[in-house]
Structure 1
Amino acid sequence: MKTTRKSGLARLAFAGICLLALPTSAGAHPHIFAEARLEVMLGDDGKVEELRHVWRFDEFFSSTVMLEFDANSNLELEQEELEAIGETVKQSLGDFDYYTAIHRNGVDLGVQAPDRIFANFENGQLLMFFAVKPKDDAPLDGKLTFGVYDPTMYAAIDFVNDGDMVVMGNAGGCESAVVRPDPDQVLAEMQGSLTEAFFNDPEGYDISQLFATRLEVTC
Structure 2
Amino acid sequence: MKTTRKNGLARLAFAGICLTALPTNAGAHPHIFAEARLEVMLGEDDQVEELRHVWRFDEFFSSTVMLEFDANTNLELEPEELEAIGETVRQSLADFDYYTSIQKDGVELGVVAPERIFANFEDGQLLMFFSVKPKAAAPLDGKLAFGVYDPTMYAAIDFVNDTDLVVMGDAGDCESAVIRPDPDQVLAEMQGSLTDAFFNDPEGYDVSQLFATRLEVTC
Alignment of 1:1-219 (within 5 A): 1-3=1-3, 4-5=7-8, 6-7=10-11, 10-15=14-19, 17=20, 19=22, 22-23=24-25, 26-219=26-219
**Equivalent position amino acid for 1:84 in 2:** A
Alpha-carbon separation, structure 2, partners of 1:34 and 1:72:
26
**Equivalent position amino acid for 1:208 in 2:** S
Cα RMSD between the aligned structures? 1.3
Alpha-carbon separation, structure 2, partners of 1:50 and 1:84:
24
The SS at the match of 1:197 is helix
TM-score, normalising length: structure 2:
0.94
Structure 1 residue 10: deviation in Å? 2.5
Alpha-carbon separation, structure 1, partners of 2:182 and 2:98:
24
More displaced, 201-210 or 56-65? Answer: 201-210
Alpha-carbon separation, structure 2, partners of 1:133 and 1:9:
25
**Equivalent position amino acid for 2:172 in 1:** G
**Contact persistence 2:111–2:132 (CA under 8 A):** yes
Structure 1 residue 200: deviation in Å? 4.4
Once the two structures are superposed, residues 8-61 of structure 1 have per-residue CA deviations (whole angstroms, 9 ceiling, x without a partner) of 75343323x253x521xx140000000000000000000000000000000011
**Equivalent position amino acid for 1:116 in 2:** R
Alpha-carbon separation, structure 1, partners of 2:180 and 2:174:
20
Alpha-carbon separation, structure 1, partners of 2:27 and 2:58:
17
* Distance change >3 Å, CA 199–CA 14, structure 1 → 2: farther
Structure 1 residue 193: deviation in Å? 1.7
Alpha-carbon separation, structure 2, partners of 1:100 and 1:11:
14
The SS at the match of 1:38 is strand
Alpha-carbon separation, structure 2, partners of 1:8 and 1:150:
10
Moved over 6 A (4+): none
**Equivalent position amino acid for 2:24 in 1:** L
Alpha-carbon separation, structure 1, partners of 2:113 and 2:145:
19
**Contact persistence 2:17–2:89 (CA under 8 A):** no
Alpha-carbon separation, structure 1, partners of 2:50 and 2:164:
16
**Contact persistence 1:175–1:217 (CA under 8 A):** yes
More displaced, 112-121 or 186-195? Answer: 186-195
The SS at the match of 2:83 is helix
TM-score, normalising length: structure 1:
0.94
The SS at the match of 2:198 is helix
**Equivalent position amino acid for 1:22 in 2:** T
**Contact persistence 2:176–2:215 (CA under 8 A):** yes
* Distance change >3 Å, CA 49–CA 138, structure 1 → 2: same
**Contact persistence 1:48–1:139 (CA under 8 A):** yes
Structure 2 gaps of 5+ residues are none
